[in-house]
Amino acid sequence: MKKQPTLLFHFLLLGALLLSGCGQGTPAPTQEPTQPPTEAPTEAPTRAPVTPVSREVFDFSRTGFGFFPTPPEPTVDSSVENIKNMSEHADVLLFQEQVPWQDFQNGVDSESTRINGVGDLVDYVEFYGMRSIMVVDPLNGLNRRQFQGIPEEWGAVDFSTPEVRSAFKDFSVRLARDFQPAYLGLASEINTYLDAYPEDAEHFLSLYKETYAAVKEVSPDTRVFVTFQWDDLNRLDGDGTPYDIKWDQIEAFEPELDIWAISSYPYVFLDDPSEIPDDYYSPLLERTDKPLAVAESGWTSQDVGEITGSLEGQVEFLRTVDEQIGERLVFWINLLYADLNWEEYRIIFAEQGTVEDMNTLANFVHLGLTDSAGNAKPALQLWDNLRAGE
């Protein structure tokens, strides 16, 4: 019998405000990254989720389809309803976990309300028959050239800073030990950081490999990875000849890379999915025999500023990914299930004073497979068909 857990306010903070990856392909914010929200309480009023359709928790025996947990409105009620709605169209949810730097200065067994929150999230997701994929993220999700939430007294840091290394490693090991996740990422779109700071690449690689080994000691079956921003690897940002793939940035992590996971938002660079080359994703099939994953992705269903989008384009994008690499995917994450109610989110960003982050996130508001009111877009039917193996 599935456990019916308490829903923590932590869920709202994680799902609504800590989006990852979607800052790539747009101008990076120039301000310092925002501090993480105040830790959520470990208890909240108990909510009784609507009983889902009875099914066993997803076991990764086929491709896991899923989303980030971001609700259409930044409220607890919206979060609850969003999880229930997603469970009818998803097998997995992907959570980005910011490192609680100060909590993990005293070793793996440090006290941290973040760990309590993660446990409740895992329980809640499994109550609805889904599995959690975790990605530890030391960087600002809306500008991966900056660290997120570093204590002010630490000053300027990089991946050689002893406090950064110990907190990152111990937090990752704690997640692996306590939750035994099927998949655990140890950075998101890391190539974009390494592009900006190549002198720090050796430091991150050594930290990754140390952490990989430590995770395997406490959870041998967990598949460990980092994610790579595929459009950046293809130089669509103007860094060299387009489609001259920077394979060295992936292969530097071998052999301690259990899957090759990418993110991709090509609509930032291309006007229509018809412009995506027939061999845009498929070179991955020949470059590695390891499983593949799409850890973030999407195509906007509406124009956003100078970026063009359409409902038809969203459908074609899903079809393109499936036709080129669908056969090898162990999981596939579309960034949003439902569009964001942007007016409501703008209030949150305004209150936090994070205007630059707000402007970046605005480019990703219409990646949902439903609108913010829950009305299905045409892409949702294709998504469901692909998930059913049709």
Q: Which helix (H) or strand (E) holds 261?
A: strand 260-264
Q: What is the pLDDT of residue 36?
A: 31
CA diameter of the chain: 55
Q: What is the pLDDT of residue 55?
A: 62
Q: What is the pLDDT of residue 355?
A: 66
Query: Looking at residues 179-194, what average pLDDT do you find?
Result: 97
Could you tell me whether strands 292-297 and 260-264 are parallel, antiparallel, or unpaired per DSSP bridges? parallel
Could you tell me whether strands 139-140 and 143-147 are parallel, antiparallel, or unpaired per DSSP bridges? antiparallel
Could you give the dihedral angle defined by the CA atoms of residues 356, 99, 94 and 64, in that order, rounded to the nearest 10 degrees? 140
With 50 as the cut, is the pLDDT of residue 147 above it? yes
Which residues are bridge partners to 332 per DSSP?
Answer: 65, 294
Q: What is the pLDDT of residue 45?
A: 35
pLDDT digits (tens, 9 = 90+) for 49-84: 444 444 689 999 999 999 999 999 988 899 989 999
Residues 6+ apart with CB under 8 A from 198: none
What residue ranges do the domains of the chain occupy? 9-387
Give the pLDDT band of residue 360 (cuts 50, 70, 90).
Answer: confident
Residues 6+ apart with CB under 8 A from 127: 2, 3, 4, 5, 49, 52
pLDDT digits (tens, 9 = 90+) for 326-359: 999 999 999 999 999 988 888 877 777 666 667 7
Q: What is the pLDDT of residue 143?
A: 82
Could you give the dihedral angle defined by the CA atoms of residues 72, 41, 93 and 170, in that order, rounded to the nearest 10 degrees? 140
Which of 138, 74, 31, 37 lies closest to 354, judged by CA? Answer: 31
Give the pLDDT band of residue 142 (cuts 50, 70, 90).
Answer: confident
Report how far residue 354's alpha carbon sits from residue 346's, in angstroms, rounded to the nearest whole number: 10
- Tell me the C-alpha to C-alpha distance, in Å, between residue 249 and each of 15, 181, 199, 262, 265: 29, 25, 13, 12, 19
- Architecture, CATH, for domain 9-387: Alpha-Beta Barrel (3.20)
Query: Looking at residues 195-208, what average pLDDT do you find?
Result: 97
With 50 as the cut, is the pLDDT of residue 40 above it? no
Q: What is the pLDDT of residue 310?
A: 98
- Tell me the C-alpha to C-alpha distance, in Å, between residue 198 and each of 156, 158, 159, 164, 290: 16, 11, 11, 18, 26
| Amino acid at position 297, single letter | S
Least confident residue range of 31-40, 306-315, 351-360, 361-370: 31-40
Report how far residue 37's alpha carbon sits from residue 41's, in angstroms, rounded to the nearest whole number: 12
Angle at which helices 9-17 and 76-86 pack, to 10 degrees? 80
Rounded to two decimals, the pTM is 0.88
Which of 236, 273, 246 lies closest to 26, judged by CA? Answer: 236
pLDDT digits (tens, 9 = 90+) for 264-282: 999 999 999 999 999 999 9
Q: What is the pLDDT of residue 354?
A: 65
Which of 252, 258, 318, 247 lies closest to 292, judged by CA? Answer: 258
Which residues are bridge partners to 137 per DSSP?
Answer: 98
Q: What percent helix, strand, coil does the chain show, rounded to 5?
A: 40, 15, 45
Average pLDDT, the chain: 87
